[in-house]
A and B are shown apart, each in its own frame.
Chain A
Amino acid sequence: MEGDLFTVALLSSGLRLATPIILAALGGAFCARAGVLNLALEGKMLLGAFVAIVATFYLGNTFAGIFVAMLLGGLLGYLFAFFYLRYQVNLIILALAINLLIGELTVYVMRVLFGNVGSWSDPSIQRLPDFEIPLLSSIPILGDILSGYNFIVYFSWVACIVGYIVLFHSKFGRHIRAVGENKQAAETLGINVRRVQVSAMVIAGMLCALGGAFLSVGHLSLFTRNMSNGLGWVAVTANIFGFQHPLGVLLTGYFFGLAEAFAVRIQNVTDLPPNLIQLLPQFATLAALILVALREKANLALIRRRFRRQLARGEMQSAAGD
């Protein structure tokens, strides 16, 4: 049993590790669909992780803590939108500054509140409880894979499906996609572009914060400096690879999570290098980017060839006309 690489435990730990990635990537997908490149997923996730555990400590209730984290995540998303829309700050610089700011500020506040520590926890903090889904858990194997998590994990799946329905079958989602694809088209029809983009960024902030909360009160029950540790950037990549589609993001997020889980597993049972597994989804993303670009290029060449053929035919016609 110890020697098996592919086990039910592996698949379910992949789902667990994928949760913050999926949530943040879904937030990124909403922003991308609204035409905003959101590279601040990392910072928003970190803020969520920190606020969730601190609020849980002061309020004495994990759910309340998570709620406050999402609220503040949404607020950060709003600030991001405000700087971008009101003062036209470059999105990339803005995102990098926010990532840096949150990375430093969380530790600063942690140390002001709880003394000079690198990580912090308190025995009073309750980790979010896992629970089984009735019916589903009784199915052999599948029940073990799909059941027995805390609510954030289930929520991440539901969020992707709801996200898909919202984006592609609701009025609000259609407005988001219209704004992202052709801002002027939406604007000239009286759609409030600002409001749509702000909403998308607030949603992204809340989802990222929830992903962060999963780290600090869902998976573990402590906060360490730079706790998100690059997961926000993994989410950026997962979003690119998932083509900014909520269901695509669910799959690629799981792919990245599984790679993480596999890396951990491989480390425990064999001497094989775990990081090579983590490289796999990254290379897949790069390959996907290149393939898509190549296809675009081929299409363009096709249009050009067609035009040249028409040109040749057109010349013949006008010659005949003379």
Chain B
Amino acid sequence: MDNYHRQQRVNTFLVPLLAVISGLVVAAVLIIFTDNSPFAAFEELFKAGFGCSSLNRCAFFTTLERATPLMLTGLSAVVAFRSGMFSIGQEGQFALGALTAAWLGFALDLPPVVHAIVIMLAAMVIGGIYGWIPGVLKVKLNINEVITTIVMNEIAVLVLVYMVNFPLRADRGTTAYSPVIDETAKLMIFMPGSKWGMGFVIAIAAVLAVYFYLWRSAPGYEQRMAGQSSLFALFGGIRNDRAAIRGMFISGALAGLAGAIEVIGVHYRINQDFAPGLGFTGLSVAILGQVHPFGVFLVAILFAGVGLGAQLGLQINLGIPRELGGTVIALMILFVAAEKFYTDGISGLRERWAHFRGQKTAVELAMEERE
């Protein structure tokens, strides 16, 4: 391996690490403004987000519960990105999936397990179609998928608000709620005290399924090749357009599933502010997770734990507002995206070190390699 490629490899590991550290440093500064010790705060946050004092009062289970929708929307983004589509439509697909579940949860009359399965499948189809549309618009008419998914997010959220306020409204209270779903539609819960249950198992299954789809199946292979180098895919005989549309459908289906599980596994009904921003958070999970299912798995738990730790540990125990959690997460995304800041710094240091040691620079090495 030559000099150039060795550098590239080192950066893959170094950059996310440095980004996370930078995020924590800024967080520490913000904590100091509240007259708390950053180290005590981080310890408190960790205990409250990832700790487990007893089986019945285990914060970590709640973290896993909260990680479930993040994992699924993160996977949704992974599948879209891996087919070369920059879809930011998870928000809308999530909303429509949730809406489908809330409606079918009381409208259908089915035996226990079947009911839940039918709901999830329906939500996946609805979400999938909602992802398929921008895919088709991109491939057939070359309309930027970022733009269409933004507009379609707005539409989906408005449709959800309308449905909750009118056709699905359960009572005449101040806030509109849909009816509580039937017992038959609810997903099993493992531990009382949190909603950690079957939904998480489905999310794990989805992580594995996406991994196997993308890295073991022929359609997944086509999708990755099209996403990584569309010219290579075209040259090799892969239909880029089909791969993109398929990727968008699967992506939508996963986001729709996330919405359904959030309804039938956690809240059992929806109101008009149902989980705003979850779609965008999922997108961030995918990016910090290096657009890989296993990365998504870890980052989703990290995000959920930081959020919960900030809420329970910082806000309740130390009086530090829980928004610190979200702030840290946003900073980490920002710093990972600013990858070039670190790679420039690293290669600058390396050049200086080489110069100091009397070694050759990258240009000199490149000239030598071509002799």
Real complex partners, A and B?
yes
Contact A237–B151 (Cβ < 8 Å) = yes
Interface residues as binary, B152-189 with A (CB distance below 8 Å gives 1, 0 otherwise): 11110111011001100000000000000000000000
Interface centre among B137, B147, B331 (most CB of A within 10 A): B147
Main secondary structure of the interface of A (DSSP, over half): helix
Main secondary structure of the interface of B (DSSP, over half): helix
Partner of B146, one of A37, A98, A283, A286: A37
* B323, CB-defined interface residue at 8 Å: yes
Contact B148–A289 (Cβ < 8 Å) = yes
Distance of A86 Cα from B342 Cα, bound (Å)? 12
Contact A286–B337 (Cβ < 8 Å) = no
Distance of A94 Cα from B344 Cα, bound (Å)? 19
Give the A-B pair count, Cβ closer than 8 A: 135
Q: Which residues of A contact B324 (CB under 8 A)?
A: 104, 108
Residues of A78-98 contacting chain B, CB below 8 A: 83, 86-90, 92-94, 96-98
* B283, CB-defined interface residue at 8 Å: yes
Contact A104–B150 (Cβ < 8 Å) = no
Q: Give chain A's interface residue range (CB within 8 Å of chain B).
A: 35 or more
Contact B148–A286 (Cβ < 8 Å) = yes
* B349, CB-defined interface residue at 8 Å: no
Interface centre among A89, A99, A116, A294 (most CB of B within 10 A): A89
Distance of A290 Cα from B148 Cα, bound (Å)? 10
* B356, CB-defined interface residue at 8 Å: no
* A137, CB-defined interface residue at 8 Å: no
Contact B327–A101 (Cβ < 8 Å) = yes
Contact B141–A290 (Cβ < 8 Å) = yes
Q: Knowing A88-B340, A108-B324, say if A93 contacts B333 (CB, 8 Å).
A: yes
Interface residues as binary, A102-143 with B (CB distance below 8 Å gives 1, 0 otherwise): 011101100110001000000000000000000000000000
Partner of B143, one of A39, A101, A273, A290: A290
Q: Which residues of B contact A107 (CB under 8 A)?
A: 321, 323
Contact B142–A286 (Cβ < 8 Å) = no
* A275, CB-defined interface residue at 8 Å: yes
* A181, CB-defined interface residue at 8 Å: no
Q: Which residues of A contact B234 (CB under 8 A)?
A: none
Contact A279–B334 (Cβ < 8 Å) = no
Distance of A93 Cα from B286 Cα, bound (Å)? 11
Contact A99–B280 (Cβ < 8 Å) = yes
Identify the closest chain A residue to B327 (Cβ): A104
* B33, CB-defined interface residue at 8 Å: yes
* A187, CB-defined interface residue at 8 Å: no
Partner of B151, one of A90, A104, A282: A282
* A60, CB-defined interface residue at 8 Å: no
Closest Cβ–Cβ distance, residue A161 to chain B (whole Å)? 26
What is A's interface to B at a CB cutoff of 8 Å? 37, 39, 83, 86-90, 92-94, 96-101, 103-105, 107-108, 111-112, 116, 226, 230, 233-234, 236-237, 240, 273, 275-276, 278-279, 282-283, 285-286, 289-290, 293-294, 296-297
